Amino acid sequence: MKIGFIGLGIMGRPMALNLRAAGHELIVPDRRSLTDEVRAAALVVSDAAHVAEQADVVIVMVPDTPDVEQVLFGAHGVAEGLHPGKLVIDMSSISPIATKGFAQRIGKLGCDYLDAPVSGGEVGAKQASLTIMVGGADAAFERALPLFQAMGKNITHVGSEAGAGQVCKVCNQIIVALNIQAVGEALTFARKAGADPAKVRQALMGGFASSRILEVHAERMINRTFNPGFRIRLHQKDLNLALTAAREMGMALPNTAIAQQMFSVVTALGGADQDHSALVRAIETMAGENDANDLT
């Protein structure tokens, strides 16, 4: 298929290149930030509207809800280049409510719309092992499935309504944040109690406390490697989606709110663009550890 891909950042670039490696044609908008690798692999056109004109499927992978709206409906945006029968897939993590509105607007142009946020981080994007959570019509999902299979391993059609994938991603981000917080508390407790956090992690990996967060993010915490990864400011955005929706539904997410405050502490220390595993620095700060504020 001819695939337009908009949003070639930490996640989007390897995702797009995996589509090219699977044999699909790649069309991207011109940006100064385009790497030589992308320029060699893709047809580069002037803007998102021209991407949509030439592509069968347009994939969007940008940071936040306003970014998606701008890409789709702003000047020279995707909507200007769409023709009936095309498919738009938003793989960003954004508001489920806004997603429903975007899907309706694209539908009025005679095109299908899927929301398909992902989990797995930069490693998953590079290894084509992402978890992909999809909302939208059955026929559109079946059409897009070969593309998802080129980018991920665990692909779930969560529901036929637009926004179902985004709801699932919000759930994912709640669980990930709370697990990072739990691992950070455990390792800080171990160190303050005089145990070697690396040895504690090794022991816990063989028990019921084992998790992907303990495997990957605990190692980051121990080695102090907080280069993203997935940035704290983006995880804060996702938790804000959860807390806003919960408030609208009249329910409480108390531990999610605490995790959001922990991220806010690290942001106040200058760590908004650190990997979300740096949440441990908030816990260390409250534990009185001297190097907690060192974000170098």
Q: Which residues are catalytic?
A: 169
* Residue among 121, 294, 116, 118 at smallest CA distance from 215: 121
Classified as helix, coil or strand, 267 is: helix
Classified as helix, coil or strand, 274 is: coil
Pairing of strands 130-135, 57-60: unpaired
**Which runs of E-coded beta strand occur in 7-94?**
25-29, 43-45, 57-60, 87-90
The strand pairing partners of 28, in sequence order, are 44
Phi, psi of 134 (to 5 degrees): -115, 135
Q: Is residue 187 within 8 Å of residue 222, measured between CB atoms?
A: yes
With both helix axes pointing from N to C terminus, report the angle between 164-192 and 96-107 in degrees, rounded to the nearest 10. Answer: 150
Q: What is the largest CA-CA distance in the chain?
A: 65
The strand pairing partners of 43, in sequence order, are 27
In the block, tokens 């999809």 appear at 134
* Residue among 53, 55, 43 at smallest CA distance from 3: 55
**Which runs of E-coded beta strand occur in 120-211?**
130-135, 152-159
Which amino acid appears at position 2 of this protein? K
